[in-house]
Structure 1
Amino acid sequence: MPDISQRYHVSSAVVVARPEEAESVAASLAAMEGVEVFTIQDGKIVVVIEGKTSGELGATLSAISGLSGVFAANMVFEHSEYEEAFADERRTDAA
């Protein structure tokens, strides 16, 4: 069995921001390590959060909740796999 430290965690979250501040909140989110902004609509921002542990994802979500202009940040989905599983998926025989 692989070393647990090699696990890869990913989650999605919905961030609810003041509509007039959504663009600046999204810019702050995009600047955070392990956070990718997927879409913005009517003050709702969908993000993907990546990290090495579930606790790291939770800490990032807590940091997001504390950003100015954010009303709420809720995790929607979380998944984890060993990193080697992703490495296998990236392999290709194409020349």
Structure 2
Amino acid sequence: VYNLTARPIIDSVLEGYNGTIFAYGQTGTGKTFTMEGVRAVPELRGIIPNSFAHIFGHIAKAEGDTRFLVRVSYLEIYNEEVRDLLGKDQTQRLE
């Protein structure tokens, strides 16, 4: 799934473009599993850990004084409420 869907986006991000990966669907259809996967099983890692591995692997190979800035957001929109899933309080609703 990662190589077919997200890798081209991450490749563009590594070229300096902005990228968004958006999972959409009904409750229980596998969005969270697709995005997060199973941490303990490398073959079952989701889009997020694969993306991070790809990005930080690229950074580790960079030569010279190249500087990088990596910013990510992980949001949930449910029942017309937005939550920051990387925030300290994931139950806090964003405006």
TM-score (ref. length: structure 2): 0.31
TM-score (ref. length: structure 1): 0.31
Higher strand share: 1
Greater RCO (CA < 8 Å, at least 6 residues apart): 1
